[in-house]
Chains A and B, each alone.
Chain A
Amino acid sequence: MEETISVANLSRSFNGVLAVNDVSFSVRKGEVLGILGANGAGKTTTIECILGTQKADSGQVAILGLNPTQSRKTLFEKVGVQFQENSFQEKITVGELCNLTQALYRETVDYRELLERFHLTGKVKSLVSELSGGERQRLFVVLALIPNPEVLFLDELTTGLDTKARREVWKYLLELKKEGVTILLSSHFMDEVEALCDRILILKEGNTAFFGTVEEAIRSGDFACFEDAYLAFSGEENIDESF
């Protein structure tokens, strides 16, 4: 099967401390990969090194067969990104931000349809800074979808969303997946991971603790459910026992 994202031996350190250590994995076309791990495990650093917004110390990355740094202009016509921190100009409205984002790409989805889909139509004239946390999060998912991406990067996509909104985002992502869109996401929610992800990568202090399917993770040990498996791999279970 075609590999849409391939990462080989990716390493990155900050001030001599390894944030990501020799991580390798691949994501096939139409697959959803979830990167999991405790805070500071290296999820965001991994995603940013893949995107090229952080420079890896070593390793190779290809998205759609292209080097994200060298072929930035071509590649990012087809890649949608939602960063963990949402960045926007002060005093910009929802409509203006969508309109501006749409102008950056050659081929796009009409942002009005996306706003409609994510229940933000009534907010077009509102300032982005005045949106609630959940509304803003949905808006940044919309922005990531505007280029009609073949590959989607979502860093903690549903943090701050209520249950209903999360379900709606999942539903939409599963539709995209059916259309063949490849998705790489990071998440702290196990239900989300089980609902969306074909394969998962669990990071522990920058190292690969597990790479495979949710079932494989559960079967790999004496785990009652995926959350138990996750806690064991990510090294978070020890903290629980100390209570």
Chain B
Amino acid sequence: MRAFRKMFTTELKLSIRGMDMVIFSIIMPVVVLVILGVVFKDKAASDNADYSFFEQSFGAVCAIAICAGGVMGLPLVVSDYRSKKILKRYKVTPIRPIMILSVQILIYALYAVTSLVSLLILASLAFDYQMRGSIIAFLGSYLLVMISMFSIGMLVGGLAKNVKTAGLMASILYFPMLVFSGATLPYELMPRPMQIASDFMPLTQGIKLLKASSLGHSVSNVLSPIIILMLLAILCSGISIKYFKWE
């Protein structure tokens, strides 16, 4: 436990020193939320909706940090620590190299939760936001989205041949999802063909779930995203556990 704590604080310090995750998972969602709040302040989500466009978008913005940590941060750090032989060095210590991977997962989860908390505070203070749905249901959805996105990240980081491949794959996953899954550019503003393409992205399904739970919609509306995310999590984590490359 002492080793885990020490490793967590050290790795967190190194990660914050790197700054990229602070920018992409803490600052960026805040900026997007402010823009959405200012631009669509009193706009209704649709003609017959009783909730605003901003309320609808809140769930989507919460997914930015998960996306940044899951498909960009995690794969890069995992492949980097493998190619730098850091995982190998831990093999000749009393702790197992999996500890440093768990530490990294926890760090990215911490970034996501920090982002979520700051978005909730900002939205309620600056834009009178109040979540319509149950916060428990929302947190449950948030956790599921996080697990499924992180499992994609572990799959990419665990199987990529080197840091370069991992970086390339992370970019292919991260940038399109950031823009086209509805996390930044609202899904509802996309033309229909783009929405159809967007539906194939895992994060789009996650955002549907987050929106529905934050708006208090019934679970029966989002059964398919829930099933897709669960299957994805089981599949990706299963493959990455079985085929993880330690060296």
A residues with CB within 8 A of B: 51-53, 72-74, 76-77, 79, 81, 83, 85, 87-92, 96, 99-101, 103-106, 147, 153
Contact = CB atoms under 8 A, between A and B. Distances in A.
B94 A76 contact: yes
Interface stretch (B11-19, B172-180, B214-222): B11-19
Nearest to A92: B14
B94 A100 contact: no
B86 A100 contact: no
A51 B92 CA distance: 7
A106 to B, nearest CB: 8
Contacts of A53: 88, 91-92, 247
A104 B94 contact: yes
B10 A104 contact: no
A153 B91 CA distance: 14
B81 to A, nearest CB: 8
Given A103-B2, A103-B6, A104-B95, A87 B88 contact: yes
Contacts of A153: 92
A99 B89 contact: no
Nearest to B80: A90
A128 to B, nearest CB: 11
Given A52-B91, A76-B92, A81-B92, A91 B14 contact: yes
Contacts of A79: 92
Contacts of B85: 83, 85, 87
11 contacts: A76-B92, A77-B94, A81-B89, A85-B85, A88-B84, A91-B14, A99-B6, A100-B6, A100-B10, A103-B2, A104-B94
A53 B89 CA distance: 9
Interface of B: 2-3, 5-7, 10-11, 13-14, 17-18, 80-81, 84-86, 88-96, 247
A153 B81 CA distance: 22
Given A96-B10, A103-B6, A87 B86 contact: yes
Contacts of B91: 51-53, 72
Contacts of B3: 103-104
Contacts, number: 71
Q: Chain A contact residues: over half helix, strand or loop, or mixed?
A: loop
A92 B7 CA distance: 12
Contacts of B80: 90
A125 B166 CA distance: 31
A91 B84 CA distance: 13
Contacts of A74: 94
Contacts of A147: 93
Contacts of B90: 104
A76 B93 CA distance: 5
Contacts of B94: 72-74, 76-77, 104-106
Nearest to A75: B94
Contacts of A89: 11, 14, 81, 84, 86
Q: Top 6 closest A-B pairs, CB basis?
A: A103-B6, A87-B85, A81-B92, A104-B93, A100-B10, A87-B86
B224 to A, nearest CB: 41
A100 B84 contact: no
Contacts of A51: 91-92
B77 to A, nearest CB: 9
A106 B95 CA distance: 11
Contacts of B81: 89
A92 B16 CA distance: 12
B13 A96 contact: yes
Contact of A103 (B7, B88, B96): B7
B86 A88 contact: yes
Contacts of B5: 103
A187 B228 CA distance: 56
Given A53-B88, A87-B84, A87-B88, A99 B10 contact: yes
B3 to A, nearest CB: 5
A89 B82 CA distance: 11
Contacts of B84: 87-90
A76 B10 CA distance: 22
Among A52, A90, A101, A106, max chain B CB count under 10 A is at A90
